[in-house]
Structure formats: C-alpha cells, structure tokens
Amino acid sequence: MSTVLYITAHPNDHHTSYSLAVGKEFIEAYRGANPADEVVHLDLYKLDIPVIDADVFSGWGKLQSGSGFDQLSAAEQAKVARLGEIVDQFVAADKYVFVSPMWNFSFPPVLKAYIDAVSVAGKTFQYSANGPVGLLTGKKGLHIQASGGVYSEGPAAGFESGFSYLKKISQFFGMDSFEGIFVEGTAAAPDQAQTIKEKAIAKAKETAAQF
C-alpha cells in the first residue's frame, strides 16, 4: 500500500478552478485504480504552514547548539514543532500530486511556503563530500498546472517557473520521476476552454492508471 499526498494550492474550488477540476478527476481515477492506497488531501490554504522567519532560525540554532526543546521560546517551539510535523508527513509519503494555478509565471505563495517547509537537510536531502544528495529515492511526483496562456512549450516556455521549479526540487530530493499535466490556454482561447479542460482530464485519467 502506498500513501499519496494530494497537495492543492488554490483558494477556490473545482467548480471555478481548472487545475482543481482536473485534479479532482485524477485523484478519483487514482483511487479507483488503487483502492488499497491511502490518499491524504492537503489543502494548503487551510493548513498552518509557518513561514521560515527569525523565530524558526533562532529555534533551529538553539537546538543545533545543544539546547533542549523546552528551552525554546513559546513562538519558537510552536513554529519549529509544526515545521517538523509537515516535513515528517512529507517524507513518510510515497507519491506526491501537486495541483496549482500559474500565478505570475509561478504558483501561489502558499505552495512556496510548503516547499520551504519540506526542504530540510537530513530529511529530504543531505550534504555530502560530493554535494547534496536527495533522500526521497523510490518516490515520484506529479504537478497539475492550469494557466491562461500556453507555457509548457512554444515562445513563452522560457517564462514558465511553476512546474519547472517543482521538477527541479523533486530531482534535488532524489525522486525517481516527476510528471506534468498542463491545462493551458484557457484565457487565450476562451471558446476552446471546455475542450482544453476535457483533454487535460483525459490525460489525467490515463496518467492516474499508471501513477
């Protein structure tokens, strides 16, 4: 049995979000093909994801210097403990499905906060004499991304910084593979938006059967 983290980063629901609409079809198809697997939905807009700030750096520094957890301030304890919960949940999973819109060529800031929370030395990667080494070998990920224009290919591809960033992070973590499903061009060609969504859903269902 595998554990899948279904990680969504959109303030709206699947009725108004192209990325969530496709993501919903993907995860339903995945559940149908893998009934024994556990799917955990993380709606990042509803989670407590501490920003890495002065309290976090101070708390981490005290722990690294040998201080006990009880010697941290209340703010340091709360933030450091919560970040530990987030990364431990991430490491314990086997598969990752990220769903987000493209905002300003990237993704919503809440998703960056989540990536920062799980990018922890000794958890998802470690340093070695030959440079950093990913610790999530044997795992894989997928990103479902919606955008008004076309950015996965063509003249605007150089501006795409959402899927490309997550793919780099997955490689840094040592994941075996990281795929992308793109729901794109819905604003550039609004008369074709429904067809674009339907094609992406078909791709999502096909991918779910093999993911």
Long-range contacts of 153-160, Cβ-Cβ distance < 8 Å, separation of 24 or more:
159/105, 160/102, 160/105
Distance CA 43, CA 22 (A): 15
> Which tokens go with 190?
């609004």
Q: Is 12 annotated as a binding residue?
A: no
Distance CA 200, CA 26 (A): 10
Q: Is 172 annotated as a binding residue?
A: no
Q: Is 17 annotated as a binding residue?
A: yes
Q: Is 105 annotated as a binding residue?
A: yes
> Which tokens go with 47?
């989670």
The string of DSSP letters for 80-120 reads HHHHHHHHHHHHH-SEEEEEEE-BTTB--HHHHHHHHHH--
Instruction: Tell me 159's DSSP state.
Output: G
SS (H, E, C) 17-45: CHHHHHHHHHHHHHHHHCCCCEEEEEEHH
Q: Is 130 annotated as a binding residue?
A: no
Q: How far is CA 112 from the centre of its chain?
A: 9
Please, are residues 127 and 121 in contact by the beta-carbon 8 Å criterion?
Answer: yes
Annotated binding site for FMN: 17-19, 102-105
Per the annotation, where are the binding residues? 17-19, 102-105
